[in-house]
A and B are shown apart, each in its own frame.
Chain A
Amino acid sequence: MPLPPDNNLRQFLLFAFALIIPCFALWTVAMGFIAMPAVGLADMILEFWFPAAVDGLQFQGGKAVLMTQFGELNGAPVPQEQSEYQLAFLINPGILSYSLPFYATLHFATAKDSYLNSFVTGLFVLYPLVLVGLLSLCLKELMVNLGTLFLEQPGAPNATFIALFYQLNVLIVPTVAPIVLWVWQSRDTPLLRDVLNLGAAPEEAESL
């Protein structure tokens, strides 16, 4: 039986606050394992895209290290043969993949008929966005730390594009994409039908 309209929102909020910590805790345990495929794919893409700038994106203890083809001399990036060090930047895939536990929180906090199939579909939708976010993060690190050495690489996007790409994919998408996906998948639930003033779902209306 559907809950009275006010209770749908209350129930959702109660479950969301109850589930958010367990979902994030589970994700923290599996964070490294979850990031591994995205790091591997980003490594292939970056090495192919910027062979003269990127030496690889290596997975290391739950985080990733972006190895460059450059070194450092007197605090400035220089071609690797002029330096004793290889410049590398630490990348945290966690700031992208936390979209998954956030989505899980919203998904499981919503009263609906079935959970598992749509949840797995949701993960498959969100995971490519983690990869895009990882690429955005790497591009931003390369631009900020290597400057013109990177921006002059063949195929390198311009600075404004990288900044906007980073802003959207790293700061916005990990929190907005789970909400958009959740709204889409939950559009026929009593919670959203009540909010959007659509009345009961067709199958519910029949049973009433």
Chain B
Amino acid sequence: MKRFVITFSVVLVALFSLEMLNPVQEHLVVPFTTLLAKISATLIAPFDDGVIAYGKVLQFKDTGFAVSIEAGCNGVEATIVLIAAVVAYPASWKARSIAIVSGFFAIQALNIVRIISLFYLGDWDIDIFSWVHLYLWPSLIMLDVLVVFIVYLRYLSRDQLGAANAAAAG
């Protein structure tokens, strides 16, 4: 437990420091955030042709209401927390890699739901948008990280149990 907490904290701070560097922001985080806006707009388009996306911004053509996807809203922080937790827990690098990649997609899938839901909520009621945006969705995203990590730990423990049973039977 002690080793997990120390490794988790070190990896977390290291990845956050890395994320804050200008080249990382410029070449990785900002293009990724732009991609998220485009994916969100692409998903909305078949159901609502009144939505446009430019850069990190999603906008309604008629009301003019727009949301800009900023740092803290792109799921990168949640992914960093997941990576730190997965790296800190003892397992093979293959299992860790699978957990990180599948966890990344699980977080981003929910994050796109968050972006789209906030976009429509904001057009409807700005107070509810603020409440959900600032307080509820960050908790739900981190709950998603927790669930991904728990599922990963269950997979690991079953894998170990299976290996132990196979060894006992052999």
Q: Enumerate chain A interface residues (CB-CB to B < 8 A).
A: 9, 13, 16, 20-21, 24, 28, 92, 94-95, 98, 101-102, 105, 163-164, 167-168, 171-172, 174-176, 179-180, 194-197
- The contact string, 1 if C-beta is below 8 Å from chain A, for chain B 65-88, is 000000010000100010000000
Question: Does B102 belong to the interface (CB within 8 Å)?
Answer: no
- Find out whether the CB atom of B13 lies under 8 angstroms from the CB atom of A28: no
User: Which residues of chain B are near A95, meaning CB under 8 Å?
Assistant: 134-135
Q: How far is the CA of A197 from the CA of B89 in the complex (A)?
A: 14
Given A172-B16, A172-B81, A197-B160, does the pair A92, B134 have CB atoms closer than 8 Å?
yes
Count CB-based A-B contacts (< 8 Å).
68
6 contacts between A and B (CB under 8 A): A94-B135, A163-B20, A175-B139, A175-B141, A194-B157, A195-B154
Nearest residue in B to A13 (C-beta to C-beta)?
B147
Question: Quick one: which of A164, A172, A180 contacts B20, CB cutoff 8 A?
Answer: A164
Q: How far is the CA of A135 from the CA of B146 in the complex (A)?
A: 27
- Find out whether the CB atom of B153 lies under 8 angstroms from the CB atom of A175: no
- Find out whether the CB atom of B16 lies under 8 angstroms from the CB atom of A24: no
- Find out whether the CB atom of A102 lies under 8 angstroms from the CB atom of B72: no
Question: Quick one: which of A16, A94, A167 contacts B143, CB cutoff 8 A?
Answer: A16
Determine chain B's interface SS by DSSP, over half rule. Answer: helix
- Find out whether the CB atom of A164 lies under 8 angstroms from the CB atom of B154: no
User: Which residues of chain B are near A16, meaning CB under 8 Å?
Assistant: 143
Closest 3 CB pairs of A and B: A197-B157, A175-B142, A98-B135
User: Which residues of chain A are near B81, meaning CB under 8 Å?
Assistant: 172, 175-176
Given A13-B147, A94-B135, A195-B150, does the pair A176, B142 have CB atoms closer than 8 Å?
yes
Question: Quick one: which of B5, B140, B147, B154 contacts A20, CB cutoff 8 A?
Answer: B140
Q: How far is the CA of A28 from the CA of B136 in the complex (A)?
A: 11
- Find out whether the CB atom of B142 lies under 8 angstroms from the CB atom of A179: yes
- Find out whether the CB atom of B139 lies under 8 angstroms from the CB atom of A171: no
User: Which residues of chain A are near B143, meaning CB under 8 Å?
Assistant: 16, 20
Q: How far is the CA of A163 from the CA of B71 in the complex (A)?
A: 13
Given A9-B150, A196-B157, does the pair A28, B131 have CB atoms closer than 8 Å?
yes
- Find out whether the CB atom of A172 lies under 8 angstroms from the CB atom of B12: yes
Report which residue of B72, B142, B157 has the largest number of chain A beta carbons within 10 angstroms of its beta carbon: B142
Q: Enumerate chain B interface residues (CB-CB to A < 8 A).
A: 5, 12-13, 16-17, 20, 72, 77, 81, 131, 134-136, 138-143, 146-147, 150, 153-154, 156-157, 160-161
- Find out whether the CB atom of B136 lies under 8 angstroms from the CB atom of A174: no
Report which residue of B77, B131, B146 has the largest number of chain A beta carbons within 10 angstroms of its beta carbon: B146
User: Which residues of chain A are near B141, meaning CB under 8 Å?
Assistant: 175
Report which residue of A13, A92, A168, A175 has the largest number of chain B beta carbons within 10 angstroms of its beta carbon: A175
- Find out whether the CB atom of B160 lies under 8 angstroms from the CB atom of A171: no
Q: How far is the CA of A95 from the CA of B72 in the complex (A)?
A: 12
- Find out whether the CB atom of A195 lies under 8 angstroms from the CB atom of B153: yes
Q: How far is the CA of A98 from the CA of B131 in the complex (A)?
A: 11
- Find out whether the CB atom of B154 lies under 8 angstroms from the CB atom of A102: no
User: Which residues of chain A are near B147, meaning CB under 8 Å?
Assistant: 13
Nearest residue in A to B142 (C-beta to C-beta)?
A175
Nearest residue in B to A9 (C-beta to C-beta)?
B150
- Find out whether the CB atom of A167 lies under 8 angstroms from the CB atom of B153: no
Question: Quick one: which of A94, A102, A164 contacts B13, CB cutoff 8 A?
Answer: A164
User: Which residues of chain A are near B5, meaning CB under 8 Å?
Assistant: 180
Q: How far is the CA of A92 from the CA of B133 in the complex (A)?
A: 13
Q: How far is the CA of A105 from the CA of B136 in the complex (A)?
A: 12
- Find out whether the CB atom of B139 lies under 8 angstroms from the CB atom of A164: no
Q: Shortest beta-carbon distance, A4 to chain B, in Å?
A: 13
